[in-house]
Structure 1
């Protein structure tokens, strides 16, 4: 997925960051956030049209609890392709 995941801003961030991506065509997108140990801490899945999009991650896990400062990885999945970006949460 060439340049589909454009990264996040701000990076480092506190308390939230915007994850920008572009799709060549409409389809289902899943966005997963993992901590440094590889544990899934948050996920989002939805249908998006072709074009530029953003998802805001508020630095919380799937239970709505604040996550700790540290390095996180954002993985964008679209069709059979995926892209990963490193993010830093500083409190």
Structure 2
């Protein structure tokens, strides 16, 4: 009787698909109602903060807070409890920080 594992061919190839830089993408869709996706990439392990602010600079939501490993991430922002308007989202990761705007239309 032949062992099943003897007939399995396995090939392992290293793929260097970890991000080389920190990156915050535009949310999609934009404008949105009531939810949108925010994608970002980390090139190394760092403490990450992703927050949403209103036009007056008041924090309305913390989406991510804490240490994360290198890689690409997606966060769904549900704004069903917020009013229509312009909002800003800010990613802070180590020495990297970037802010982008989004439009909620109800």
Alpha-carbon offset, residue 73 of structure 1: 0.3
Q: Which of 70, 73, 81 is 2:96 aligned to?
A: 81
1:59 aligns with 2:79: yes
| TM-score normalized by the length of structure 1 | 0.85
> C-alpha separation between the residues in 1 aligned to 2:73 and 2:96?
17
1:90 aligns with 2:105: yes
> C-alpha separation between the residues in 1 aligned to 2:75 and 2:66?
11
Structure with the bigger percentage of strand: 1
> C-alpha separation between the residues in 2 aligned to 1:12 and 1:3?
24
**Ranges in structure 2 where 5+ consecutive residues have no aligned partner:** 1-20
| TM-score normalized by the length of structure 2 | 0.74
1:46 aligns with 2:66: yes
Partner residue of 1:18? 37
Number of residue-to-residue matches in the alignment = 85
RMSD (Å), alpha carbons: 1.4
Question: Is the CA contact 2:22–2:43 (under 8 Å) kept in the aligned structure 1?
Answer: no
Higher relative contact order (CA 8 A, sep 6+): 1
Structure whose CA Rg is larger: 2
The Cα offsets for residues 25-62 of structure 1, whole Å up to 9 and x where unpaired, read as 122210110001111100131322212111111015xx
